[in-house]
Structure 1
Amino acid sequence: MIRVDVALKLGDFDLDVDFENGAGITALFGRSGSGKSMTINLIAGLRRPDRGCIVLDGRVLVDTEANIFVPAYRRRVGLVFQDAQLFPHLSVRQNLLFGRWFAPKAAANIPFGPVVETLGIGHLLERKPARLSGGEKQRVAMGRALLASPEILLMDEPLASLDTERKLEILPLIESLRDNLRIPIVYVSHAVDEVARLASRVVVLDNGHVVAAGTVEDVLGPGLSGTGLSRFARSSVVAGRLAAVDAAYDLTEISHPAGTIWLTGRAGPIGREARVVIRATDITLAKTPAQNLSVRTTLAGTVAGIEAEDDGPLAGVSIDLDGHGHLFALATRKAIDELALRPGDRVYALVKSVALDERAVAAAEA
């Protein structure tokens, strides 16, 4: 468990964050410049806060009132950055073993072999970083951080520099670390699909302050209102159960109390819980169930709120789905007025299957 309650002023920027994180992954989410990386640096001990405290598993790392500041090298923190930051003159094996220098002798060391096997880097051990791809470098960086036997793992945009295919290779590895090691992980990202797939808890930062915190399903979507994100970045996460596969059409059915979600292709083992990312711009709203349309997914719910600027063309509609979960949909103000949508109205959210990325669908955290 980590407890963070810190404040720091840098020029005109004021950071003031307060959150807790247990086992699993807590995502620090927000647009660039919101204070995510600065928060990571404070946890790691790379910066001192002006005020506050940081407590890791009962051990006080920072307490400004008591004048306590544990230096970075004594914090038992594993760091993975956007840039792998490997030592270019060392082999992969030597880079990995470098992490051991920071593991206390009394610590229960994470074994070298299982880390190498989990990350799939056994064939790379004798290579130098210059001969590695971006994805391979990030695997090695994760291994080095783990072999330091950290009490917490901090990951600052670790996939930001990778293309989609490399991201899809690394995401299952991070899931494996999450599920098998059971150490707290704080994961910085501004990518909804990464957060939806990995995190159990989300802390949304905007302009240095926490504006929302909670489960992925509750926070993403309506919880991002007022954060200044582009309409193309606004997405919701809906959790359901993988119910069946339509083999004739190669479609996967996800069951939700609000309706059936259809994915193209096969998303995973039937019976498990899964999360689906639905972009606000991919939702069509109707006041009655749609008929004779190509749209396969219809989710029923109730309008919880409508955001609209008097002189702007767009409106945002927050929807409480039947059963559980929330959606945030974008439409023109004209469409909202013509539908006469009001808070409390029944509404149906229509989503084309081809708009959903089955590759981003992941099992809910165990």
Structure 2
Amino acid sequence: MEPIAQDTAPHTDDPTTTTTLPVFEFSQPPPDAPPVTFEMARNAVAKFYGIEVRDIDRALHQVASMPGPRKPIWRKFGKLNKFGFLYGILMHTPDKEWQEDYIRSFYWTFESNRLMEKEEEEQCLNLLYAQFIQPFTQHDTSGSSNASSHGSSGSTPNGSSAPIRSNATDPTHSNFSTALRKRDVACLICWGSQATDAAHLIAQKSSIPLVIEKLLERAGMRSVFQVQNGILLCATCHRLFDTLEQYIDVVDGRLFAKIVNRTNDPNDEDYLRDLERLTAYRAIHKKYQYHAAIADLGSEMPVYIPLDDETMHPNHTALAFHKAACLIWKLAGAGAVNEDDWSGDCEDDVENRLAMVASRLEDLVKTSTVSVEESK
């Protein structure tokens, strides 16, 4: 998820024709350039989209209150959506070094007005969407089943003593699903045990494989089918998780289920209604011994993993990636959509661009990323 260049992989229209698209690269500072602050980068993006700095708070509230456009996303995004998306990346990139890279890259790119060319702006936004949003929006219910109840409140969390395997070398969703049901028992967010899905944290996406590989590497995993890359969710919580409307936060090593508040208003009626709904579901489903002592405190809803072996728990780095995607997409004012919800208009064009972003990602990272030390 660090700054990279737009890919130039060949796009083949027929077996005999190859076309190479232009490269997009973030502008980088000269060697003797002074450090760039967050405020400088934010102001450069705001200026590019014609937003006064004094109006940013109002603009962000407007953005976060907007209904979500459907794909192809950038054709239906207004300037506030685009500003909110980019501001979200500056605010919520889940690593200080990455954030410094983006602050520097955004400032020099937007200050130069290079993106006045519509094609370059679209390439930039599609690239960032492929890195920050798309790997976390897949809604895959191929592993769904009607999970049976796991016994009374006195039953053991995992039933049998058979080990839960890593799945790192077994690329099958059925094995992944079995491992998650054995580990989590019920939906980790609402605790319902019926019609549960095996949900990926970093999604199973074939169109951007090198982006996925880079995220897995950052998280210290080898495969999207490792049990650490998944959580068990009911169908409703899975949909909300994959549309970036709820997430699991890591706070001092503990896990908490949270609902995204799409406005900046803590008294927003929709947010409070959703929060009330989820806490009510959790109260109804609190029937297992290991859930009985858990108390919900407002928006802090603890997540309990029955399995004692913490090395098999959901990967904390992957959870942080997903949280960042939720908060970035919130500031874009857009509800991320499932693949099935894509409109047919220009769908192939968007997919081709995202696939091209992925095909040479590793090489382009090396050529376009300037380290924090080099910029000082």
Structure that is richer in strand per residue? 1
- After TM superposition, the score normalised by the length of structure 1 is 0.28
Structure that is richer in helix per residue? 2
Bigger relative contact order, structure 1 or 2, given CA contacts below 8 A and separation 6+?
2
- After TM superposition, the score normalised by the length of structure 2 is 0.27
